[in-house]
Amino acid sequence: MALSLFELVKNRDDSELLLSGSVIAVIISMLGRDGRVSAAASLLHNLNKDGFGVDVYAYTSLITAYASNGRYRDAMTVFKEMQEEGCKPTLITYNVILNVYGKMGMPWSKIMAVFDGMKNSGVAPDVYTYNTLMSCCRRGFLYEEAKEIFEEMKLAGFVPDKVTYNTLLDVYGKSRRLKEAMEVLREMEVNGFSPSIVTYNSLISAYARDGLLDEAMDLKNQMAEKGMKADVFTYTTLFSGFEKVGKDESAMRVFDEMRNAGCSLNICTFNALIKMHGNRGRFTEMMKVFEEIKSCGCVPDIVTWNTLLAVFGQNGMDTEVSGVFKEMKRSGFVAERDTFNTLISAYSRCGSFGQAMAVYRSMLEAGVTPDLSTYNAVLAALARGGLWEQSEKVLAEMKDGWCKPNELTYCSLLHAYANGKEIERMRALADEIYSGAVEPHVTILKSLVLVNSKCDLLVETERAFLELRRKGSLMQRSPQIPFVLSLCPPLLSYVTHFTTI
């Protein structure tokens, strides 16, 4: 209909008067909403070719259409083209592009380059701009950057709204900064914003991610007390949390409660069920759930395929990994970052380091920006092979891309040094950990116990254990440590003495 109307107007003698920028923008928006983005792009291209004046509103409509349909790279291409044509972006254009950069997981330096360019060109940010920038911090766990944007927003005279608080809280939650997340909740309530189901779901997700499931259930009860009904996201998050710590009975109780509450399963729930059966080696049940997806009117999404790839990869089933990947492509799915990350981890666990690194190179060649999960997957693969030199190069790439290493990054580096027999480098990294230059996270200290014991370094293992003990993490909280210490009888005797005092 939109195109028919356009052709009718275009063929009139006074078409240039009737086809204003706003009319073209509306037609492109209509095509975008209908999912006909290619038709919208052709329309704009033909107008340019025929000499019609295409303004910033038409370009912005096409960028928005691409973004709404998940075609982020095309959106970026149009943004670049409009600037080359001398068309100055508006506030809306910049807001859409910043959102696109966030969806693509672009490095923070590139996101800030767009933001700085926006301000330098005289376009003032609004509340939506700041909220979008904070949302860009989710994937990279950039809680410090999110806090800086939050403070800049207030200094610029803007009052944070409910979206602002929910976004900042979610960034803290995903970054495992639970104390700060709860502080945001308190500030939010003090400023007159009642927490919504979105707020509670973010908090429940944060606590569940850290294995604090009693606290997560308490939050669900708080929701009920405030008259908020748990939704499919609430139940699926709790189900996944219990599944992750091996409490299948609790997970199924949550699942039954969900069904009894009349809450319809969505693809996220099916994905969680697939993961649970797969993690327990129940592959027949897992594939039954996969088939049930179609019969329930759902469609497997990219997470479904990635979960199947991860399960088979974790079990060293490289033939199945390759088969699922081929089937995924046949179903019309294009590999995106999470798929690449999953494939790297899968081939690494199968011992196929060459294939893991080939996938990483393919990812870079496809123009997909690595994120923290990518780098950690690559480092884990390199660590298994003791390839410490390549590990150091990847760590340098990571820092250059403004991607903050976390505890898993340093654990992999320690294992790379240990497996590569690079004792001095391992000791140097240990010194950074003990000095606080690298945050002495409990997970890193456990790895220090493991790698030092594996390398028969009694004194270093003892030091790592004492530091771990000082942090309040006892042996029973990490089943790997007693096993590794059993390989070192003098230290096991020492540890047993002190843990029974």
pLDDT single digits (tens) 389-445? 999 999 998 888 778 899 999 999 999 999 999 999 999 999 999 999 998 988 999
pLDDT given at position 477: 47
Instruction: Write the CA distances from 333 to 83, 278, 296, integer angstroms.
Output: 32, 22, 20
What integer best gives the mean pLDDT of the chain? 87
pLDDT at 475 over 80: no
Own/partner pairs for 163-166, CB < 8 Å, 24+ apart?
Answer: 163/131, 164/127, 164/130, 164/131, 164/134, 165/191, 165/193, 165/199, 166/196, 166/198, 166/199, 166/202
pLDDT for position 51: 65
Confidence check: pLDDT of 47 > 80: no
**What pLDDT, on a 0 to 100 scale, did the predictor assign at position 222?**
93
The pLDDT of residue 294: 79
Judged by phi (left if over 0) then psi (alpha if -120 to 50, else beta), residue 472 lies in: left
pLDDT at 269: 92
- R_g over Cα of the chain: 26
The answer to whether 195 and 188 have CB atoms below 8 angstroms apart is: yes
Cα distances (angstroms) measured from residue 71 to each of 24, 62, 96, 103, 404: 21, 11, 13, 10, 27
Residue 6 has pLDDT above 70, yes or no: no
Q: What is the mean pLDDT of residues 327-348?
A: 87
pLDDT of residue 53: 67
Separation of alpha carbons 347 and 309, rounded Å: 10
pLDDT in tens, 140-171: 889 999 999 999 999 999 999 999 999 999 99
Look at residues 286, 278, 336, 289 and name the one whose alpha carbon lies nearest to residue 312.
278
Question: What is the rounded (10 degree) CA torsion for 230, 236, 242, 247?
Answer: 110
Q: How far is CA 270 from the centre of its chain?
A: 19
Residue pointed to by tokens 């410490």? 388
478: closest CA among 395, 382, 411, 391? 411
Integer Cα distance of 60 and 66 in angstroms = 10
Write down the pLDDT at residue 8: 47
pLDDT for the residue 453: 92
**426 vs 489, higher pLDDT:** 426
| Burial class for 69, CB neighbours closer than 10 Å (0-12, 13-18, 19+) | middle
Q: Are 53 and 21 in contact (CB under 8 A)?
A: yes
**DSSP state, residue 86:** T
Q: Give me the mean pLDDT over the 12-38 stretch.
A: 69
State pTM to two decimals: 0.69
Q: Are 62 and 78 in contact (CB under 8 A)?
A: yes
User: Does residue 39 carry a pLDDT above 80?
Assistant: yes
Q: What's phi and psi for 334, nearest 5 deg?
A: -100, 135
pLDDT score recorded for residue 486? 53
Alpha helix positions (H), 156-297: 162-174, 178-190, 197-209, 213-225, 232-244, 248-260, 267-279, 283-295
Q: In the prediction, which pLDDT does 314 show? A: 84
Q: Per residue in 354-363, pLDDT tens?
A: 888 899 999 9
Q: At 250, is the pLDDT very low, low, confident or very high (cuts 50, 70, 90)?
A: very high
Q: What is the pLDDT of residue 336?
A: 84
Q: Are 432 and 466 in contact (CB under 8 A)?
A: no
pLDDT at 371 over 70: yes
Per-residue pLDDT of 379-399, as tens digits, reads: 999 998 899 999 999 999 888
Q: Give the position of tokens 């008259």.
A: 227
Mean pLDDT, range 194-204, rounded to an integer: 95
pLDDT at 196 (0 to 100): 94
DSSP class per residue in 427-481: HHHHHHHHHTSS---HHHHHHHHHHHHHTT-HHHHHHHHHHHHHTT--GGG-THH
Judge whether 118 and 148 are in contact, CB under 8 Å.
no
- Rounded to whole angstroms, the Cα distance separating 163 from 131 reads 7
Mean predicted confidence (pLDDT) in 461-489 = 64
Instruction: Give me the pLDDT at residue 7, please.
Output: 54
- pLDDT (average), residues 252-279: 92
Q: What percent of the chain has pLDDT over 90?
A: 56
User: 14 falls in which pLDDT band (50, 70, 90)?
Assistant: very low
HSE, side-chain direction, 13 A CA sphere, residue 328: 23
Range name among 86-90, 122-126, 363-367, 428-432 with the lowest pLDDT average: 363-367
Please give the biggest Cα pair distance in the chain: 96
Query: Confidence band (pLDDT; 50, 70, 90) for 202?
Result: very high
AA identity, residue 487: L
Position 240 scores a pLDDT of: 93
The confidence score (pLDDT) of residue 499 equals 43
Length of the chain: 501
Q: How many CB atoms lie within 10 A of CB 492?
A: 16
What's the confidence (pLDDT) of residue 15?
47
CATH of domain 265-358: 1.25.40.10
Helix or strand (DSSP H, E) at 305:
helix 302-314
Question: 137 vs 64, 200, 208, 375, 403, CA distance in Å?
Answer: 21, 19, 20, 17, 11
Rounded CA separation 90/217 (Å): 45
**Candidate from 3-17, 44-58, 280-294, 458-472 with smallest mean pLDDT:** 3-17
Is residue 381 within a helix (H) or strand (E), and if so which, with residue range? Answer: helix 372-384
Instruction: Find out whether 40 and 62 touch, Cβ atoms under 8 Å.
Output: yes
Confidence of residue 50 (pLDDT cuts 50, 70, 90): low
Mean pLDDT of 18-30: 71
